[in-house]
Each structure stands twice: as C-alpha cells, then as structure tokens.
Structure 1
Amino acid sequence: MPPGAARQERVRLGSTFGLRAIVARLAVGLLASSTALGAVSFVPAAAVHAMVPAVGTSANFEVLDDAQYDVMPGLSCQNPTAPMPCYTPHQIRTAYNMESVINGGTTGAGQTIVIIAGFQDPTLLTDLARFDQTFGLPATTPLVTAPDGLTEFDPSSAIQKGWALEIATDVEWAHAIAPGATIHLVLAASGDDADILRATRYAVENDLGDVISQSFGEAESCPTAEFLAEEHAVFKAAHARGMTLLASSGDVGAAERTCDGTLVAAVSTPASDPEVTAVGGTRLVADRVSGAHQSEVAWNDQYGASGGGFSQVYKRPGYQAPFIEDNTGRGIPDVALGASMYGAVIVAFRGKFGRVIGTSPATAQWAGIAALSNEMAGHRQGPLNTRLYHVGKSSSYDAAFHDITGGENTFAGFSGLPAGPGWDPVTGLGSPNVAVLLPLLS
C-alpha cells in the first residue's frame, strides 16, 4: 500500500490477516499478522516514515486490570439491597440529566468519537452487541484503524487483557451516552508512549473524528520534556482542526504510576496538558431503580481515588486563573463523573457482564457528552475547557453542575487535597447536569 493511501476492508470473525506496515523497528519491512477483531470496518493505515523516539525503558500507560472488573452473575449488583450498587446506561443518563436530551433527538448523530487504545480486544463485537441488546441501545459497528498494524492478541498477557477491558469499557460507554455517534477505535501497536502518540497523531492528521477520548495515563515526571512537547504539538494540531480532547485524571488520588510502575506524587499526563479536558471521579449515589441523582462526593474508597493535583510541567492556563490563586501550575481535573466501586458501571466483557470503576469509563462518558454538545451546537466546538470554565464562573454554574464539596483524594499513603466549593483539584468543576450544561456550551 503506497504512503498516504488507506484501504477499507471487511474483516471476518475468527479470521487472520496480515498487512505491511511500519511498527517498532519495521524499517526492514516485516509482515505484521494478527487475529482479527471480527466483522468490523477495519481501515489499515498507511505506513509512516519515521519512528517516534521511545521514552524511557518501560513506558506503558496504566490501564484497567482484572482487579477493577468484578464479574456479577445475573447483574446482582442491580439488586436494591446490594452493598455495592452498579448502574446501567439508563440510570447514568438519568442521574446526569441526559435522557431528556437524548430522547429529544440529540444523540451525537453526525459526530465521530475517536478512542485511542493499545493492542486490541478480540471479543469487542460480540460483547458490544450483547451490551446494546441488553440495555436497549441501537446496534453499532465501530470503525477500527491500526496505524502500525494490528498486534496479535496474546491471552496470556496481563497488559493486553487490561487494554482489552479498557477498549470494551470505552466503546460501550461512549456509545451509551452518544448512541447516534460513530465510534472510531484507533489502536496503537502497544501501550508504549511512542506507539500511543503515533496513533494519536495519525487520528489528528487524518481528521478521523470530532472528539478524542484517552482513558490512560502516567506520571508526568515519566516522559521526557521532548516527548511532552511533541505530544503538546499534536494536541495543538487537534484543536486547530476543531477537535475536542479528553483524558482520565487517574485512579490513585494524588499519586500516579511512573516509568517503573511505582507510585510517585504526581498528576497524570496526558490529562495535565492544558489542551486536554481532564476527567476525575466521584462516588455517585442514585436511585436504585430510576437512577435519579441523590448525592455525590469525591471518589475515594479502598479501590481507588480521583486523580488530581497541580502540574509541575504546565503553568496554570488563563481559563483557570479565576479559580486558582495559590498555585501557578495547571490544576486537574477539569470535570468529573461517577467512578467508585460503590456505583460502578456495567460492562460486557469476554461474554460476561461485570462492573468497572475508575476515571476511564468517566472519560468515555464525557466524550459522549462532548459529541452531544457538538451536535446541539451544529459544529465542532474544539477545546472544551474555556467554555466549561466560563460556565463555572457564571450565575448558571449551580444549575449546570453538581458542585462536589465533600471528600478528598489521599490514597496509598500519598497526602491529597480536599474537594470544596467551585473548582477543586479532586473533582474539578464537578459532574454535569447535561440538559442544562449543553445549551450553555453551545
């Protein structure tokens, strides 16, 4: 396939295929062979001409692992007396006042949500179909692009299984919130920084979508300054095209994992980049039947806590100046959504239903909200942060957001910060009242 060309193929479930692409050290032209995702619209990318320099010796982004996926046979967590409840798409959409928007015809139609991830999920199509059928969502078939070729799935790899769960979670919940939007999954060859950035750059340069969701992260002290500058340039290019970028703020409170996998006191990148809308976590309490919003505090339980704090790399952007007086660094998160095990979301994965926690599903849901906002506005809205913080300092703030004032994000021995009125470095501006917020963003 010549440079600059792309072809679209129909890949059959259970088949194997090969395509020539440049992946790590593929300047010699190896043949990348992989198990197919299934009957998806697969768009192999054109070969790139240069490698993005590798970062460090171990540069895997942190993703969900099996410990964060709790299989609940028969959806027992839906029982009104379950000690740790879980929520369906209808309940989440009700809690955050989305149902009237979606039922009124704003579904994300005409929008494309790009989900960046590593490796692949070989059961995505069957799991997604089950999820949609169970919860009354319209069937959808995501597009899949692998810029460096699709990596063969290794079921013995904990890292690959973690990414597979991440993919299932992000696709299902972005679709649940914006059921009319197209989902375009862009798969890096691995979870390494260089591969992830190359996939992101490909999505931007080829204008693959309107909203980009990034449910991964690492301590911003891990990548080199050169890598962060290159990443920032890609994000600036995305915004020049009118794309909206979101990323999860992390699941370990005031800490984040660095290059060797250990925790350090740091905020997460790419969430800390000021071009990105960083999504934190809450503990949502909603009616067990209707999903009506009852209360919300910062996410902090034995399973994790909302990532948040202040960047040591990026300076406080102008849109945060009215909200942050005692720190010169970029503060994250910007917004939040339910993330606790005491209010997890239901995900179909490997043929079973289970519950997933963390800022990963929260980010995918906010990507869906951004797609709804684009459709309502009638055009791409680009960077959300300036618009969000404009609402945050307006008289409409209390109606447009649930201001999270309780809780803090001390976790795993790392002292955190408290939530409080208005913006805070644990839950940002809070969680959305979508029916009120979207017209204000538009």
Structure 2
Amino acid sequence: MASEIWHARARARRRIGAASLAVAALTGSFVTAAVASATSTSSAGSSIAGTAPSWATSSADRGAVASGTSVDSTVYLQSKDQSGMAAYAKAVATPGNALYHHYLSASQYQARFGTTASQVTAVEAWLRSAGLRIVSANSHEVRVSGTAAQTEAAYGTSLREYSVKGKTYRAPSADAKVPSSVAADVLTIGGLTDMPTEMKPNDLVSTAKSEEQITGEKPTMTKSADGSYYVGQTPCSTYYGQAVDTNAPSLNGTTDNPYVICGYVPSQLRSAYGVFGGVSGRGVTVAIVDAYGSSDILSDADTYAVNHGDPAFRSGQFLDTETPADWTNQTACGGAAGWAPEEHIDVEAVHAMAPGATVHYYGANSCEDADLLASLQQIVDTHSADIVSNSWGEVVYSSTGNLATSVQASYDQVLMQAAIEGIEMNFSSGDCGAEIPTTGCGATDTSTEPQADWPSSSDWATSVGGTSVAIGKHGQVEWNTAWGTSIFLNAGTSWSDYGWYFGGGGGTSAVESQPWYQRGVVSNSLATTLPTGATTTSKMRVTPDVSMDADPYTGFLVGQTQTLPDGSTGYGESAWGGTSLASPLFAGLQADAMQLQGYEPIGFANPAIYARAGSPAYYDVTANGKGTKAYNDMPDSTGTGTEYAVDFGSTQILQATRGYDDVTGVGTPTVFYLWSHLRW
C-alpha cells in the first residue's frame, strides 16, 4: 500500500492507548451479577497450574509462614478469547494466510481480545471478599495485598518456607486455586513466592573486561584523533587482518595471526549487512527495554555518532521513559551503573544500523520479571514502537529455583498481543552457549544443566544468536562463523590452553513445544534432543532463529562515560560484544527493512524468517568455514602481563551445521538481506 497513507493511519492508531481504554472501562457500572458469583472462596475452585514452584518440596519445607506476614500478589488476567487470540497471532504473522499482516490497533485488540470490565470487576470482587486489599487494577492485572492468612484463604493453599541452596524462600505448598466463577478470567498468579526472578543483561563481554579477567592486567587508554580515549589493549585492527602479530609462537600450525578488532564502527557494520542507498530506518520507531537508566546516554550516543561520521540524534528522535523514583532491587540487580553498558550498546547499535530511526528507551523499575513485563506491556498497550530489542535473559533451570510456568505464561501473553498489533519482539539468545554448569559463565548464571535461555526460547520471541564476522578493508565480509571462544595463553615458545570462555546461546528448549514455523526447517533429531543429551517424544522449540555479529573480538566500538584506567571519569570507547549486540543490530536492520517496504510493519518476524531459510538472504554458517580455522591475538600492551589468543567457532555441544542449527539459526543476514525481498 502507499507508504504515506499507511504510515499516517498507523501513527493515528498509535495515539490511542489501550491503557486509557482500560481505565475508561473500569469506571463503568458495577456488574452486580459478576460480584454475586465471585464471592465464594477458593477452597473448591480451579487450580492455576505452575503457581507452586518445583523447588517447594516436602524435604525442603522449613515451616509455615507467620500468619500476619504481609504478602503482595498479582492476578494476571486472561484475554476474553484466549484461544482466538493465539490463533489470530499465528495467522497475522504467517505468510500466505488470508489474515497475514491484517494487524489490529491497540484499541481494536482490546475490543476483540482484551479483558472486559466485567472480568476485572469479578476478579476484584472475589479478592475483596477474601479480605485482600486492591492496590491497583487494569485490563491486564489486579495487584492485591494482605496478610499471609488472608492470602492463603483467597488462593486455597498454604504458604510455607523452603530452603533452597542455603537460603529460605516463601512459596505455596500447592498450586493456587480460584473460584470456578472467575477461572476463565485468570491467566496466572504471581508474587506467592518471594524468590526473586531476576534477568541479567547480556553485556558481560568486552575485550577490556576480558583482558582483566583472563590475565589480571588493567586495560590501557590511548587518546584517539577525535580526542576521546580508546580503552583496551593495543595494537588492534580497525578492520580484519590490518595489524598482524609477527612475534608470537606458532599456534596449531598458524603464524602471523591478526590482532583482534579494536571494535567495528557503524559504517563497517552497515556495509557488512548491505545497508546503503539512503536507507536509514527513518520513520520507524525501535524500542529498547532494559532496567533503570543512564543519565549520560543521549550525550554519549551523540558524541559516539559524531566521532564516527554519523549524525547525532535529531530533536525528538531519542525518547526516554523511566521512573527513577520507583526503582527497586538495585543491589540485587546491579543498579543503574550495572545496566549502563547494556543501555549504551543497545542504543548505539540501533542508531548505527538505522541512524534515521527513532529510538525509544524504556527503563524498567528493576531487573525482575514483573517490572520488565510492565515495560513490554506499556509498549504494546500504547503501540509506541514498531520493533523492540531486549538484551537480557535468564536460565530456566537454576540453582536458586527453576523458572515458574506462571512467568512463562505472562511473557507469552504480552508477546502474542505484540504479534497481533504488528510489533516485532527480539530477544538476545545469551552469551554462555548452552549454559553448561561446569563452565565459568554457566556457574555464574546459576545454571544446573545445559539449556536454552528464556525468554528468547518463547515461541513468540525472535531469538537472535551470535556470530563472529571478519569485515575487510573495504567493508566486505571476509567470513562468518559461529561465536564461541576458547582462550590460549602465550607461554613464550608455545601456547597453553586456558579453556572455553563464552559464546552465543542456543539449544533445544525443554519447556516449549515446537512452533509451527520451525516445522520442515529444524531437523527432527535436533527438535527432539535436549542440550542435556536426553531425547523427547515431542518436537520442541529450538533457538536461536537468526544471528548477527556478537563476538567481542570482532565486536562493536561502544562509547560511554566511565571510570577510565587512570581513575578519572570521562568518555571512552572500547570493543563490546555478546548477543546484547546482536539483538539491537538486528532490530536496526529490521527498521531498515520496514522503511524499504513502505513502513508496513514486519510484526512477529519468525514465520517470514523461516520461510526464507536457505535463500541468498542468509549466509549459512557452518563449522567448516574459513573463520573456524582462524586465531587472533590479544596483545600485552604493558610488557608485564600475558598475551593471549582467541579462536573462533568453539561452540561446545551446540553445533553449526548446514541449514538450520542451534548456534546461528537459519543463518546471518547477507548483503542481499534487505534487497532480495522488499516485503515481509
């Protein structure tokens, strides 16, 4: 359709917020019949599966929660047509379906699938009748507060204390129950356990941080021509193969290996992925969701862009939604300072790939699921973005307690709403391969078994995995390989094997069934073999879906105000990577694609991604390419530390193969990606 007409209509629709519709609905007349039918207790009601966590076992039971203990809980509400919503989300995203791209506005979604005022009123009435106090209510959730005794009576279960890995947490002894009269209105219940469910930013990989962790040597700082400081070891290569280490001993038969990349700049990444011809993502809005917020993000992003030949953000092109007065759990989550590198990577990477796109940053009030979900819900309720990048995740099976199925249901609900409205939701696949517990990063992530990360393994998420990419002198791609890194220390006349360090996340999910779009593309053996080696009778979801550059040793130069190596505070640039880079790079590339197709939304991208599997749009990354035989050296700048080398393609139990694989998905976009198809 004509881009101007469609775009004007789309923007008009976005001015109608579903949140305001919910408020209006809640001010309607009191529904007497609903109140009358909802006042029964939960003792003989319907169970809400997954509300009692798997770690709440009799052997771990340490006694009852004191009856007067204050307990806050949240009742998440179902769509008035849950099965119809799932069917529409599938249809609207599937090429060839009669409803393909027949997206609904936020108000149309609310009218057709959203929770009704009578549903909310009925749930509120039940909760009040049980003695709980309503804290807040909208068309997605009802938050309540009460004593442990009142909470137990309301949900028909007992609250107990359980010992998990030396700590004690509250949890229900059995799944919560709700009255039959409101069973169809309740999706799940949160807050009955006080074990925190905290997402981690996937920003743990910079060459400067790695240098210090591996060798104990502080990074150096070198003043660049533009006046800013490069933080990291030198020499390094500005393009692949530029600077060569001629003094190191032979490593597995290779000599004169290149030094690692200093960090690619925006023009190099745009060239590698075919962004040219005036394409900039202009007119498209990309949202970024992280926790908290950085006060210097806009000034740093502008400085970075100008330093590398790109325009700074125009007035109104960068939007920031955060509420510092409401920030919580900062100690557990790392606070604003801990999330600042993630925010800088995300914003600068999107702007690098789509310098004309509007970037809207959402800082959740903590790294806990409830707060991150609230930011995602805000985006879809107001349709404030076309594409969303999320560079955070958690393991499903953790030493501090497994991910609750109630949390999974809450994510799937908001992601399906996004699909119906034509909003693309991208999630990074993780930075620790298959999260093997015996690896350093697996232990840090509290993983108890090899597994795929969440929420990237949701059927309704686009999971973005990681590659290593060699970009040559003229912006051309020399090779791609799966991101996986082993470290080798220079012992003088030979190299010692330090071991596997990190790599792109992926694997077969143990909790999500195979989605329709993976059928016929993902092999049966992969879909039925878990990272643990166990096999399943049913085919399961496999991640990632697609991949982009993520290796910090072929990473992205990021600018940030920071504590510099000399102890001062100032702006510095260093190379970063991780699928925290891959997700915003892909989001920016998708913004370019959306501009090319006349601003028609891409929406849930997975069906179209898989429909193009095997086409020239993707580079099929395998374990036999040129990059898997390469090594790069990380210098010892001071002469007092240890030089080390990195390899490429060390992916452990995940394997890059011909066709779809659990390291890079269908592959990584080629220069033909934007131009081989002009409509998603």
2:654 to 397, 417, 423: 417
Q: What percent of counterpart residues are identical?
A: 29
Residues 165-214 of structure 1 show CA distances to partners (whole Å, capped at 9, x for unaligned) of 10011001101101111000111011111111111111111111000111
2:383 to 184, 207, 210: 207
2:619 to 390, 396, 402: 402
Equivalent pair of 1:320/1:389 in contact (CA under 8 Å): yes
Residues 110-135 of structure 1 show CA distances to partners (whole Å, capped at 9, x for unaligned) of 11001011011122122111111111
Deviation of 1:69 (Å) = 6.0
Partner of 1:30: none
Deviation of 1:58 (Å) = 2.9
Deviation of 1:66 (Å) = 6.2
Q: Equivalents in 2 of 1:375, 1:242: separation in Å?
A: 15
Equivalent pair of 2:270/2:353 in contact (CA under 8 Å): yes
Equivalent pair of 2:288/2:362 in contact (CA under 8 Å): yes
Partner of 1:432: 669
Q: Equivalents in 1 of 2:422, 2:459: separation in Å?
A: 15
Partner of 1:310: 508
Partner of 1:364: 584
1:392 to 587, 594, 613: 613
Q: Equivalents in 1 of 2:442, 2:72: separation in Å?
A: 25
Residues 295-328 of structure 1 show CA distances to partners (whole Å, capped at 9, x for unaligned) of 1111111441110101111111121111222221
Task: Give 1:111-130 correspondences, 5 Å limit.
Answer: 111-130=284-303
2:251 is aligned with 1:53: no
Partner of 1:233: 413
Q: Equivalents in 1 of 2:585, 2:592: separation in Å?
A: 11
Partner of 2:374: 198
Equivalent pair of 2:559/2:573 in contact (CA under 8 Å): yes
Q: Equivalents in 2 of 1:152, 1:223: separation in Å?
A: 21
Q: Equivalents in 2 of 1:68, 1:56: separation in Å?
A: 33
Partner of 2:490: none
Q: Equivalents in 2 of 1:66, 1:308: separation in Å?
A: 17
Partner of 1:347: 558
Q: Equivalents in 1 of 2:386, 2:557: separation in Å?
A: 26
Q: Equivalents in 1 of 2:604, 2:259: separation in Å?
A: 39
Residues 15-55 of structure 1 show CA distances to partners (whole Å, capped at 9, x for unaligned) of xxxxxxxxx9799xxxxxxxxxxxxxxxxxxx964448347
Partner of 1:32: none
Q: Equivalents in 2 of 1:57, 1:427: separation in Å?
A: 33
Equivalent AA in structure 2 for residue 270 of structure 1: P
Greater displacement, 148-157 / 312-321: 148-157
Residues 317-370 of structure 1 show CA distances to partners (whole Å, capped at 9, x for unaligned) of 121111222221111101111111220110001111011110011100100111
Equivalent AA in structure 2 for residue 87 of structure 1: Y
Partner of 1:131: 304
Q: Equivalents in 2 of 1:148, 1:69: separation in Å?
A: 31
* TM-score, structure 1 normalization: 0.81
Question: Aligned in 2, Cα 1:323/1:64: closer, same or farther, shift over 3 Å?
Answer: closer
Equivalent AA in structure 2 for residue 320 of structure 1: Q
Partner of 1:39: none
Greater displacement, 271-280 / 52-61: 52-61
Greater displacement, 116-125 / 165-174: 116-125
Deviation of 1:220 (Å) = 2.8
Q: Equivalents in 2 of 1:420, 1:377: separation in Å?
A: 32
Question: Aligned in 2, Cα 1:56/1:216: closer, same or farther, shift over 3 Å?
Answer: farther
Deviation of 1:285 (Å) = 1.2
Greater displacement, 376-385 / 427-436: 427-436
Deviation of 1:261 (Å) = 4.0
Equivalent AA in structure 2 for residue 57 of structure 1: M
Q: Secondary structure at the match of 1:173?
A: helix
Q: Equivalents in 2 of 1:311, 1:441: separation in Å?
A: 32
Equivalent pair of 1:58/1:259 in contact (CA under 8 Å): no
Q: Equivalents in 1 of 2:650, 2:394: separation in Å?
A: 18
Equivalent AA in structure 1 for residue 595 of structure 2: E
Equivalent AA in structure 1 for residue 606 of structure 2: N
Equivalent pair of 2:469/2:479 in contact (CA under 8 Å): yes
Q: Equivalents in 1 of 2:292, 2:72: separation in Å?
A: 17
Equivalent pair of 1:65/1:161 in contact (CA under 8 Å): no
Q: Secondary structure at the match of 2:593?
A: helix
Question: Aligned in 2, Cα 1:322/1:171: closer, same or farther, shift over 3 Å?
Answer: same
Deviation of 1:60 (Å) = 1.9
Equivalent AA in structure 1 for residue 622 of structure 2: T
1:91 to 263, 268, 271: 268
Q: Equivalents in 2 of 1:66, 1:259: separation in Å?
A: 14
Count of aligned positions: 391
2:463 is aligned with 1:242: no
Partner of 1:332: 543
Question: Aligned in 2, Cα 1:371/1:383: closer, same or farther, shift over 3 Å?
Answer: same
Question: Aligned in 2, Cα 1:422/1:178: closer, same or farther, shift over 3 Å?
Answer: same
Residues 51-79 of structure 1 show CA distances to partners (whole Å, capped at 9, x for unaligned) of 48347623221214566362663345345
Equivalent pair of 1:57/1:259 in contact (CA under 8 Å): no
Q: Equivalents in 2 of 1:156, 1:127: separation in Å?
A: 26
Q: Equivalents in 1 of 2:506, 2:603: separation in Å?
A: 23
Equivalent pair of 1:146/1:199 in contact (CA under 8 Å): no
Q: Secondary structure at the match of 2:458?
A: coil
Equivalent pair of 1:64/1:163 in contact (CA under 8 Å): no
Question: Aligned in 2, Cα 1:203/1:156: closer, same or farther, shift over 3 Å?
Answer: closer
2:362 is aligned with 1:163: no
RMSD: 3.0
Equivalent AA in structure 2 for residue 118 of structure 1: A
Q: Equivalents in 2 of 1:66, 1:156: separation in Å?
A: 16
Q: Equivalents in 1 of 2:299, 2:458: separation in Å?
A: 35
Equivalent AA in structure 2 for residue 401 of structure 1: Y
Q: Equivalents in 1 of 2:395, 2:502: separation in Å?
A: 16
2:593 to 370, 373, 376: 373
Q: Secondary structure at the match of 1:113?
A: strand
Equivalent pair of 2:333/2:366 in contact (CA under 8 Å): no
Q: Equivalents in 2 of 1:152, 1:348: separation in Å?
A: 27
Q: Secondary structure at the match of 1:255?
A: coil
Question: Aligned in 2, Cα 1:228/1:56: closer, same or farther, shift over 3 Å?
Answer: farther
Q: Equivalents in 1 of 2:655, 2:202: separation in Å?
A: 25
Greater displacement, 369-378 / 60-69: 60-69
Greater displacement, 253-262 / 191-200: 253-262
Question: Aligned in 2, Cα 1:150/1:106: closer, same or farther, shift over 3 Å?
Answer: farther
Equivalent AA in structure 1 for residue 380 of structure 2: V
Equivalent pair of 1:401/1:437 in contact (CA under 8 Å): no
Uncovered stretches (5+) of structure 1, i.e. residues with no partner = 6-23, 28-46
Q: Equivalents in 2 of 1:96, 1:178: separation in Å?
A: 12
Q: Secondary structure at the match of 1:143?
A: strand
Q: Equivalents in 2 of 1:242, 1:433: separation in Å?
A: 25
Q: Secondary structure at the match of 1:440?
A: coil
Residues 74-106 of structure 1 show CA distances to partners (whole Å, capped at 9, x for unaligned) of 3453452162112111111112222x2xxx232
Question: Aligned in 2, Cα 1:161/1:347: closer, same or farther, shift over 3 Å?
Answer: same
Q: Which has the larger radius of gyration?
A: 2
Equivalent pair of 2:592/2:674 in contact (CA under 8 Å): no
* TM-score, structure 2 normalization: 0.54
